[in-house]
């Protein structure tokens, strides 16, 4: 039974609320209409290496003294890497640069039909390995630091297992390791998919299809409520710009190279083969016990894409004695762009590296 006191809204009040909302919506839409072009990527960077559509950037240092061993950031194949340098006050990269790190970033670009047969071997033992070699040569070092983001974290983990002699420290962020935790909706959804049929039919997997899949994890919030929440903030052009930048990033989705998608989905999502020691990249088995370098594993407590349980187990599988886990109280994207993360994540990374 619904108690009569459940609603304490008078019709007059509801009317005023609607009127007020209509006025704010009107003014907010006007602000949006006036914003003009939206820029992304706040920090200056230079191209140091390119191959096909892949580009390796080096960010221009912001500290007087640089640490000797640089960090190479590997981003996921989905969405674009400018999320970690969205704007000046929301930039993981900027925080790391200010902490004295020398930061490189792999940008995978936008695969087209000609990239359909790019495999995980091409990405990990090809592009990544050659980028690592370029950085090693530039700095005359045997080993460098790796930082992987989401799927890029899984790539970095595989790379560290395959080429441990080139990795000094490994940092994984919101990285899926166990793909079959009960709360992993993505893995549940793809379990009945005939991935071979999908890739053989479509070739590359359209970015829009993946985008829809991610939004459909929490459709009411991600396609509805958040826009209403923003109406309250749209009267400020600066806040409106931040919002639109995030929107631009969310819907900037490259297509996925078919062969890489096939292997990643079948081996990792469907078979959960990484933690079983059954993944093989280019004919080389990925043995996580070979990850013997120091590992920092950062995950987000409220991550709806990569549930924390999927990342948290990393310590059980790697072969290092120096394993650190850091739980961030936020979501998958919030770990990089929220105000809270700016004050905690880059300093934690810098501190952890400086101790090693």
- Which of positions 35-74 make contact with other proteins (CB under 8 A)? 35-38, 46-52, 54
Closest by CA to 166, choosing from 72, 87, 247, 102, is: 72
Closest by CA to 334, choosing from 38, 90, 99, is: 90
Q: How far is the CB of 9 from other proteins (least distance, A)?
A: 6
Q: How far is the CB of 216 from other proteins (least distance, A)?
A: 7
Helix or strand (DSSP H, E) at 284: strand 284-285
Pairwise CA distance, residues 285 & 306, whole Å: 24
Q: How far is the CB of 261 from other proteins (least distance, A)?
A: 14
Closest by CA to 66, choosing from 45, 89, 96, is: 96
Binding to other proteins by residue 134, rule CB under 8 A? yes
For residue 105, list its beta bridge partners.
57, 73
| Residue from 235, 237, 238, 251 binding other proteins (CB under 8 A) | 251
Binding to other proteins by residue 189, rule CB under 8 A? yes
Please give the residues from 230 up to 249 whose contact with other proteins meets the rule CB under 8 A.
230-231, 234, 243-244, 247-248
Q: Is the Cβ–Cβ distance between 293 and 170 less than 8 Å?
A: yes
Question: Is 131 one of the catalytic residues?
Answer: no
Q: Tell me whether residue 4 or residue 339 sits nearer to other proteins (CB atom).
A: 4
Q: How far is the CB of 104 from other proteins (least distance, A)?
A: 12
The span of 143-151, 229-237, 321-329, 334-342 binding other proteins (CB under 8 A) equals: 229-237
256: DSSP letter = B
- Find the catalytic residue in 131, 150, 158, 350: 150
Binding to other proteins by residue 5, rule CB under 8 A? yes
122: DSSP letter = I
Burial class of 42 by CB neighbour count within 10 A (0 to 12, 13 to 18, 19+)? middle
Token pair 């609603």 is found at: 7
Non-local CB neighbours of 148 within 8 Å, separated by 6+ positions: 73, 74, 154, 155, 156, 157, 170, 171, 172, 173, 175
Q: How far is the CB of 12 from other proteins (least distance, A)?
A: 7
| Residue from 13, 236, 289, 354 binding other proteins (CB under 8 A) | 13
Residues serving a catalytic function are 150
């Amino acid at each position: 039974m619904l108690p009569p006191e459940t609603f304490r809204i008078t019709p007059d009040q509801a009317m005023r609320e609607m009127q007020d909302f209509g006025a704010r919506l009107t003014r907010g839409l006007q602000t949006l209409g006036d914003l003009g072009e939206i820029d992304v990527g706040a920090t200056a960077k230079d191209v140091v290496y390119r191959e096909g559509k892949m580009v390796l950037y080096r960010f221009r240092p912001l500290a007087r003294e640089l640490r000797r061993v640089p960090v190479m950031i590997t981003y996921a194949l989905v969405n674009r890497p400018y999320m970690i340098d969205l704007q000046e006050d929301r930039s993981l990269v900027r925080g790391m640069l200010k902490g004295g790190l020398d930061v490189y970033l792999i940008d995978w670009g936008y695969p087209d039909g000609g990239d359909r047969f790019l495999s995980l071997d091409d990405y990990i033992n090809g592009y990544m390995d050659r980028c690592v070699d370029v950085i090693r040569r530039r700095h005359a070092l045997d080993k460098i630091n790796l930082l992987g983001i989401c799927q890029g974290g899984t790539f970095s983990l595989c790379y560290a297992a395959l080429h441990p002699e080139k990795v000094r420290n490994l940092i994984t962020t919101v990285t899926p390791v166990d793909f079959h935790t009960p709360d992993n909706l993505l893995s549940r959804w793809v379990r009945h998919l005939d991935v071979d049929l999908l890739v053989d039919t479509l070739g590359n997997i359209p970015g829009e299809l993946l985008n829809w899949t991610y939004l459909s994890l929490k459709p009411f919030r991600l396609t509805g409520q958040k826009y209403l929440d923003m109406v309250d903030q749209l009267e400020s052009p600066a806040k409106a710009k931040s919002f639109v930048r995030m929107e631009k990033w969310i819907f900037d989705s490259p297509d996925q190279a078919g062969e890489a998608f096939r292997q990643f989905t079948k081996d990792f999502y469907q078979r959960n083969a990484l933690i079983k020691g059954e993944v093989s990249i280019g004919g080389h088995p990925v043995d996580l016990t070979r990850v013997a370098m120091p590992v920092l594993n950062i995950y987000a407590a409220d991550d709806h894409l990569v549930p924390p349980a999927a990342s948290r187990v990393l310590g059980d599988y790697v072969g290092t004695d120096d394993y650190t886990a850091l739980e961030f109280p936020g979501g998958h994207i919030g770990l990089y762009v929220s105000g809270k993360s700016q004050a905690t994540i880059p300093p934690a990374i810098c501190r952890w590296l400086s101790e090693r």
